Amino acid sequence: MHTTKDEIEPQTFGEYEGRTADLGDWRVAWETLPAGFPPDPSPFKGLPDDRCQCPHLGVVLRGSFNVTYLDGSEEVVREGEAYRLDPGHFVQAIEHTEILEFSPREEHERTMRQVLKNVGAISA
């Protein structure tokens, strides 16, 4: 199983662009986030603790982002760094950021169903 970013149709939301493909039980995502995206955790309302519950492994290809957890801990992940995000996180791009990320497919689908529901309610 293999794919390239260019083989996948992008999904856009404003300046955000995401491309995902399923590789067995894993989902790979190439994402481009504008600075300050998302502006707040509202897309995650309705998930446990109103935060992303899907674990992720990834690499920052360009830019940087801030990640915060419910316990108040936070960190900055920068260009060239590999990362692991545990359930209960919120990520916000500090600057124009590009990432390559891997997530368990089923948990990612559950999360994205709620996010898309929320985004539809916000933009309606």
Average pLDDT, the chain: 93
Q: Which tokens sit at 87?
A: 């359930």
Please state the rounded mean pLDDT for residues 38-60: 94
In this predicted structure, the answer to whether residue 42 has a pLDDT above a threshold of 80 is yes
Report the pLDDT value the prediction gives residue 14, as an integer from 0 to 100: 87
Contact 83, 96 (CB under 8 A): no
pLDDT tier at 124, thresholds 50, 70, 90: very low
Rounded Cα gap, residues 55 and 89, in angstroms: 9
In this predicted structure, the answer to whether residue 7 has a pLDDT above a threshold of 50 is yes
- What percent of the chain shows pLDDT beyond 90? 87
pLDDT tier at 122, thresholds 50, 70, 90: low
Q: What's the order of all strands across the beta sheet hosting 74-78?
A: 74-78, 64-69, 89-93
Q: 5-123 falls under which CATH superfamily?
A: Jelly Rolls (2.60.120.10)
Rounded Cα gap, residues 72 and 115, in angstroms: 22
Rounded Cα gap, residues 35 and 22, in angstroms: 27
SS3 category, 70:
coil
